Amino acid sequence: MHTSRSLSISAFAVAAGLTGVSFSADLVEPGGTAAATHQATFAKDEFGWQLFFYVNQQARADKAGVPDDSKTSFAQYDSDKPVVWETWALATGGELAGAENVSEVFKSPATKPVAWEELVRPERQKILAPSLKSSPLITLQPGALRNLAAGTLQAELAPHANIAGFDETRMNRITYDTIRDKDLYSLEGLDRAYAAAEATGNPMIVDFEQSAKEVKARWVRIDQKNECNPDGADLDTAKQRYHWRTLTGADAAGQPEVQTWGLVSLHIITKDLPNWFWVDFGHVDCVDVPPDSGDAVAPVDTTTRGPNATAGANGVRNEARGTKWENYVMHGTQVAFTDALGKDTILSNPVIERQNQNSSCITCHARAAVAPQASNLPPGPSIPLFLGKVGSISPGASFIDVGTPEPVFESGGQRYRQIDFLWSIPFRAYSETGN
Ligand code: HEC
């Protein structure tokens, strides 16, 4: 234990950004206040860390999204136990073709998700799915997920040497409740929301509340070689250096096998700013993973780097020292399409956005948009997803789209409306009839 509750300042003070670097278990989720917006604007990196500390506290096993208050801080934890974000509602899990759709939000056929209190905790076991964004088998095309259901992904369910990591995307309660209450979990619901937005001339079909949050995590097996440890690492040592979880998977012969997975990347976004607040963290072992194209980008964190760092050094926060969390660095924060000079901002994770680290979270996500189902061209009942710049060759928002997005949201004669930066909604929603 490295910090104690006696050092703590009140949750209100943390939320208000009134503190320096003191830290304790913050049992109140940061965000959703005017003070949080102020901090997200003027002390971005500090706000990013406050989010990191909160969501990575050990969670209560029996409830969704509640910190375990028997722990005095995020620096105190038991092995192989979920942290807070791991108990939020699971958005992923629907892409396992041929297997049960275990998404808690996007079911197939689409049905209303259960009330938050009825989310089953503890979960049976951790569910990880191949990353749709980086799988070599998948291009980000309209209806990608449903096309996959036809079977492409089946082959990937067994451990697959070419798929380095698996993703987990989850949402907090307010995001979940908004998707649930506004029926945004189904294609039909999205059509209704589109029609309502069209009737009032609103370019956005939903506007999430300020305390909305989502995370996207990448896990890799630490009990074997992986892209961050190409030579492999001793498992006992790795377990000291990673937030890790075990799950029962299948070995190459299809036999049950206990596997140990380590957290290597964590995207966190909150609606504390109108175009969301974007922050990325990653394991220090992965900082130097070479990008597929373009240059690697050095982490930026004013709280721990440079001569004016007040809360740590060399990327390590004081609060995390001596714990597994000291191995996680902030790659940076992003709060706008461009900076004060008018220069495009970039932010990426070396593993998740490995295709090109000079990419921009906020720009790609601004393109998340939908058109009515009925407008779709064959083959299927899918909402076109990756609306590219009009006239560009690629049909989607891509890793080369940075800066202010093209304001034109038309393609194929269709008018698209934004879905408030959340890609998983148009990407993952199924029809109520099962498509
Ligand atoms: C080139 C496009 C692109 C870029 C760049 C990108 N993302 Fe995403 N992101 C996606 C897609 C597509 C999904 C949906 C994946 C899914 O549902 O499987 C997604 C999902 C997410 C989610 C889950 C919530 C949601 O939108 O459904 C979060 C959180 C997230 N990304 C954060 C980030 C952050 C932070 C960055 C920058 C460090 C980033 N993304 C960069 C395309 C992108």
Q: Is the C-alpha dihedral spanning 271, 274, 275, 278 positive or negative?
A: negative
Which atom of ligand 1 is least distant from the CA of 386?
12
Contact by Cβ (8 Å): 207, 273: no
CA-closest residue to ligand 1 atom 32: 267
List CB contacts of 70: < 8 A, sequence separation 6 or more: none
Which atom of ligand 1 is least distant from the CA of 267?
35
| Longest Cα separation, the chain | 62
Token pair 């109108």 is at which residue? Answer: 274
CA-closest residue to ligand 1 atom 19: 423
Per-residue pLDDT of the chain (435 residues; tens, 9 = 90+): 343 333 333 333 344 344 433 445 578 999 999 999 999 999 999 999 999 999 999 999 999 999 999 998 889 999 999 999 999 999 988 766 556 788 999 998 899 999 999 999 999 888 887 766 544 333 333 344 443 433 333 333 333 333 346 889 999 999 999 999 999 998 889 889 999 999 999 989 999 999 999 999 999 999 998 889 989 889 999 999 999 999 988 787 878 889 999 999 999 999 999 999 999 999 999 999 888 888 899 999 999 999 999 999 999 999 999 999 999 999 999 999 999 999 999 999 999 888 789 999 998 888 788 777 654 433 333 333 333 333 232 334 667 788 998 776 776 667 778 889 998 887 788 888 865
Which atom of ligand 1 is least distant from the CA of 348?
38
Neighbouring C-beta atoms of residue 79, cutoff 10 Å: 9
Q: Tell me the two tokens of residue 1.
A: 């234990």
Pocket mutation for ligand 1, best pick of 44, 133, 351 (most atoms within 8 Å of C-beta): 133
Which atom of ligand 1 is least distant from the CA of 425?
27
5 Cα to the center of ligand 1, angstroms: 35
Binding pocket residue ranges, ligand 1, CB within 6 Å? 132-133, 169, 214-216, 267, 269, 278, 280, 347-349, 353, 359-361, 364-365, 397-399, 422-424, 427-428
Contact by Cβ (8 Å): 282, 350: yes
d(CA 101, CA 171): 17
Contact by Cβ (8 Å): 284, 328: yes
d(CA 383, CA 190): 9
Which atom of ligand 1 is least distant from the CA of 145?
18
344-390: per-residue pLDDT in tens? Answer: 999 999 998 887 899 999 988 887 887 776 544 333 333 333 333 33
Which atom of ligand 1 is least distant from the CA of 363?
5
d(CA 414, CA 110): 24
Cα angle vertex 381, ends 376, 384, to 5°? 50
Neighbouring C-beta atoms of residue 46, cutoff 10 Å: 21
d(CA 140, CA 379): 16
Token pair 């070479």 is at which residue? Answer: 290
37 Cα to the center of ligand 1, angstroms: 22
CA dist list (Å): 311 to 50, 308, 416: 12, 9, 44
Torsion-angle region of 397 (φ positive above 0: left; ψ -120 to 50: alpha; else: beta): beta
27 Cα to the center of ligand 1, angstroms: 27
Q: Tell me the two tokens of residue 93.
A: 């899990």
List CB contacts of 259: < 8 A, sequence separation 6 or more: 159, 221, 223, 246, 247, 248, 249
CA-closest residue to ligand 1 atom 34: 361
d(CA 381, CA 87): 32
Contact by Cβ (8 Å): 337, 404: yes
Q: Which residues of 329-357 are buried (b: 16+ CB within 10 A; e: fewer)?
A: bbbbbbbebeeeeeeebbbbbbbbbbbbb
Share of residues in the chain with pLDDT > 70 (%) = 77
Which atom of ligand 1 is least distant from the CA of 215?
29
219 Cα to the center of ligand 1, angstroms: 15
Contact by Cβ (8 Å): 129, 170: no
Pocket mutation for ligand 1, best pick of 131, 389, 423 (most atoms within 8 Å of C-beta): 423
Pocket mutation for ligand 1, best pick of 337, 358, 364 (most atoms within 8 Å of C-beta): 364
Asked, as a colleague might, if the bond just before 379 is cis with ω within 30 of 0, I would say: yes
